[in-house]
Structure 1
Amino acid sequence: MGFIGTLCLLLVLTTLAGHFSNRIGMPSVIGQILVGIVVGPAVLGWIHLDTTINLFSEIGVIILMFIGGLESNLTLLRKYLRPAIIVACMGVIFPVILMGATANLLGLSAFESLFIGVVFSATSVSISVEVLREYGALDTKEGATILGAAVADDIIGVILLSIMISLMGTQGLSTTGSQQNIGLVLIEQVLFFVATYFVVKWIAPYLMGISEKLLMASSRTITSMVICLGMAWLANLVGLSGAVGAFFAGIAVAHTPSRNVIAEHMEPLGYATFIPLFFVSIGLNMSFSHIQDSLIFIIIMTILACLTKLAGCGLGAKMSGFSRQSDYMIGAGMVSRGEMGLIIAQIGFSAGLLSATYYSDMILIIVLATMIAPFLLKHAIKKLPNEANEPLVDRQLEQI
C-alpha cells in the first residue's frame, strides 16, 4: 500500500504545481517536472524512481502520444513529410558532429564521444506535444513538421545506436539478449511501418466498428486502448520507442467515427494519473550527487544540447521554405530529449558504450535540456504571427 500513498502525494503536488505554473505563465509540465526534482533524490529524497512509478510513467507517455495522434491531422503530416525528414536529418547531423567533437575535446574517447552525439540526436516529442496542445499549436504546419521530424529522429537514432553496438561486437538493440544485426533491425522497422499503414487504413476502422456493437460499457474506449497498447508494444519490439507506435495508433483511431468519443474518454484517463507521473519521473531521474566534479562538462553539453537542435532543425526548416519565426518554433520543438534520450543512453550504457561516471552526467544533461525545451517552445509559439499561430485547417476553412 506504500505506493498508493506515494501516488496520492504526487497527484496532489503535480496538480498544484501545474496550476501555479500556468498562473505565472509557464507550461504546466515544468511544474510537474520540478515536483519530481524536489521530492526525488536531487533535493528531499522522499521518493525514488522504482519499478511501479516507471511502469505508470511508460503508460503515461504512451497515452500522451496516443492523444497527440488523435489530435493530429494526417493530411498535414503527409503534406509536410518532406520538410520533416529534412529537419530530422539536420537535427541528427548537428548534435552528432558538434556534441561528439566537444565531448572528445573534453577528454572522452572517440567512441564515447560519438555515442554522446548519438544520444543527443534523438528527440522526445512527448514534451513538445503537451506544450503544443496547451497553446493550441498542435494542428499547424509547424506542429505537423515537429511531429513528423521527431518520429524520423527516433528511427535514425535507433539505427545509429544499432551500428555502434555492432561495432562494439555486441550485436543487437534488445536488452533481453536476443541477437539482432542492423539489417534485421531495418527490415523489422520497415515491416512495422507497413503494418501501420494497414492498421490506419483497415484494421483500426474494422475493430472500432465491431466495438460499437459490443454490449459492454466503454467498449469503444477499451478497443482504442487495445490498439494503442498493441501498436506501442510492436514499436518497442522492433527497437523503436513505444511512443511512436502509440502516436500512429492515435492517428488510426482518429480516422474513425469514434474519434471525438475516444478523445473525451482518453484525456481524463491519461491526465488523472498516468501522464503526470511521466513528467514527475523525468525529475526523479535527476541527481546532484556528483555535479561538482563534472559541472563544466554538464553546463557546456546542456547548452550544446539546446543549440544543436535549435540551429540544426531550424536550418532544416529554413531549407524547406519556412519563415524565420517558424524555423525557431520547429527548432525549439525538437530540443526535448525526454524518455527517448534516456532510453538510448540506458541501452548504450548497458552495451558498454559509456562509463558509469559519464552516464550519470548524461542523465542530468538530458533532464536539463528537457526542462529548458518547454520554455523555448512557448517563447517560439508567441513569436509567431497571430495568423500563423492558428490551426491551419481553421485558416483553410475561413478562406473557403
Structure 2
Amino acid sequence: MNPAVSILVLAVAAFVLPLVASRLKLPAVVLEILFGILAGPALLGLLHESETMESMAELGFLLLMFLSGFEIDFRKLERGGAGQIVIGMSILLLTLIFAYKAGTMLGHGPFITLVLATTSVGLVVPTLRNTQRSSTPLGQAILIAALLTDFLTLIGATLFAMVRESGFGWHLLGFPALFAAIVLVLLALKHLAWWFPHKFERLFDPEDPEEMGIRTCLFLMFVFVGLSWALNVEAILGAFMAGTAFAWVFRHRGQLEQKLKGFGYGFLIPIFFIHVGVRFEVAALARPGVLSGALLLILAATLVKMGASSVLLLVGFSPRQTLSAGVLLSARLSLVIAVAEMGVRLNLLSRELEAQVVMLAIVTSVLAPTIFRALAPPVASAEPIPQSAAAR
C-alpha cells in the first residue's frame, strides 16, 4: 500500500479514536489496538507493516516508556514511608511467586512470570484520581505497589533479555554501567538545578516559545536510549530510566507533564498501539486452544494479583478493600504488551501467546477499573485507617 495512504489512515485514527473512546468510557489504547486489528492485513487490509510504520511505532514505544518513568511521583513514595514500601515489596514478591506457579501450571516458560507480574500505573493513577481515592490509605497502598511492580518488573525483563541473548559474561556489566551513568546524570542535574535555578525554571515555563522543557526531555531520552544500545541493554529501559531520572530531580513539573503527554499520546504512542493491532495474528484465534488459553491466562493473571494483595489483610485493611486492590492491580496495558513484544523478539513467547497477552490487556484494562469502582469503599464515608498505618 502507498505509504501516504497509511499515514493518512493513522492520522485519522489517532484523532478520532480517543473521541470515540471517551464516549464509550473505554481506554483509548483498547480502541487503538482493536482498530489496528480491524484495519490490518487479516481483515480490511487498510494497514500493512512497513518500515515507516515500524519506525514511528518504535519511537512511540520509547516515548511511552519515557512517560511511564516520568509519571512516577517520588513525593508520594517518600510520604508513604518505609512501611508502605515494605507492603509494596511484599505484594511484588508474592506476585512473582504466584506468577511463576501459575505460569508453570499453564505450561509456559519462566518469562511468563514477568508478563503476569506486570500491572498498569497508567490505569491505576487515573482510576484512583477519578474515584477520589488517591490520598486514602488504600489508594496509597495500591499506587506504591503498582509503581514498584512496574519499575522492578521492567528491570527484571531487561536482565532476563540480556542473559537470554548473550548468556552470563562481562556484557552484563552494561547494566550497572547504565545505572552508574544515570546516577551521574542525576547528581549533575540536581547540582545544576541548585546553582542555576532561574535557568532551569525555563523548562517549566508554559509560555516558553522554544519549548525547552520538551527538548530537554527528548534529549535525555535519546541520550539514554543511545547509551543503552551501546551497552547492549534494552532501549526501553534507557527510555524509562531517563523519565525516572527527570521525575526524581524535578518533583514539581507543572504543565510540562501535560505537554509531553500531549506530544506523545497525540500521535506517536497511538501509532505504537495501532501497530500492535496490525501485527496481531487473527488467524491464531482459530487454532485449537488459543481462545481457551487466553481465558486461562486472564484468570491466572487476575488470581495472581488478588492472591498477592492478601498482604493488605495482614496490615488491617478489610476483605473488601483487599479484594478491590487486587482487582485494580490486575489491570494490564502498556507494560504487559511491551514485555510480551520483548519475549517474542527473543523467542521466549510464541505469536499465539502474544495474541493471548494482547487479549489479556484488552479485557483487564476495561473490566478491572470498572469492577474496582463497584468494590472500593465509598469515598463519602471515611475510609477506615488500618491499625498498622495509624501506628506509623
> TM-score, normalising length from structure 2?
0.75
1:175-254 equivalence runs, <5 A: 180=170, 184=173, 187-188=176-177, 191=180, 194-195=183-184, 197-198=186-187, 201-202=190-191, 210=199, 217-234=210-227, 237=231, 238-239=233-234, 241-252=237-248, 254=250
Greater displacement, 25-34 / 306-315: 306-315
AA aligned to 1:272 is G
CA shift in 2, pair 1:319/1:93, >3 Å: farther
- Offset from partner CA, 1:48-83 (integer Å, 9 cap, x none): 333332332333344345445555431212424333
- Offset from partner CA, 1:2-59 (integer Å, 9 cap, x none): 4343233123224333222222232222212211111113422321333332332333
The question of whether the paired residues in 2 share the 8 Å contact of 1:87 and 1:314 is answered with yes
- Offset from partner CA, 1:267-304 (integer Å, 9 cap, x none): 33123211211221222231122333333563354334
Shift in Å, 1:266: 1.7
**Corresponding residue of 1:117:** 112
CA shift in 2, pair 1:335/1:210, >3 Å: closer
The SS at the match of 2:346 is helix
**Corresponding residue of 1:89:** 93
Where does structure 1 differ by over 6 angstroms across 4 or more consecutive aligned residues?
136-139, 204-208, 213-216
AA aligned to 2:29 is V
Q: Distance in 2 between matches of 1:334 and 1:320?
A: 25
Identity %, equivalent residues = 19
Q: Distance in 2 between matches of 1:216 and 1:342?
A: 39
Q: Distance in 1 between matches of 2:327 and 2:184?
A: 32
Unpaired segments ≥5 residues, structure 1 = 104-112, 173-178, 391-400
1:214-363 equivalence runs, <5 A: 217-234=210-227, 237=231, 238-239=233-234, 241-252=237-248, 254-255=250-251, 259-296=253-290, 298-318=293-313, 322=317, 323-333=321-331, 337-349=335-347, 353=348, 359-363=350-354
- Could you tell me which of 365, 369, 378 is aligned with 2:360? 369
Q: Distance in 2 between matches of 1:302 and 1:36?
A: 22
The question of whether the paired residues in 1 share the 8 Å contact of 2:56 and 2:268 is answered with yes
CA shift in 2, pair 1:185/1:128, >3 Å: farther
Greater displacement, 228-237 / 79-88: 228-237
AA aligned to 1:87 is I
> TM-score, normalising length from structure 1?
0.73
Q: Distance in 2 between matches of 1:207 and 1:37?
A: 50
Shift in Å, 1:89: 2.1
**Corresponding residue of 2:387:** none
- Could you tell me which of 385, 391, 398 is aligned with 2:377? 385
Q: Distance in 1 between matches of 2:226 and 2:237?
A: 9
CA shift in 2, pair 1:246/1:193, >3 Å: closer
CA shift in 2, pair 1:217/1:162, >3 Å: closer
**Corresponding residue of 2:32:** 32
AA aligned to 1:85 is M
The question of whether the paired residues in 2 share the 8 Å contact of 1:77 and 1:148 is answered with no
AA aligned to 1:218 is E
CA shift in 2, pair 1:312/1:10, >3 Å: farther
Q: Distance in 1 between matches of 2:6 and 2:370?
A: 34
Shift in Å, 1:364: 0.5
Shift in Å, 1:87: 2.3
- Alignment size in residue pairs: 361
CA shift in 2, pair 1:330/1:202, >3 Å: farther
AA aligned to 1:307 is T
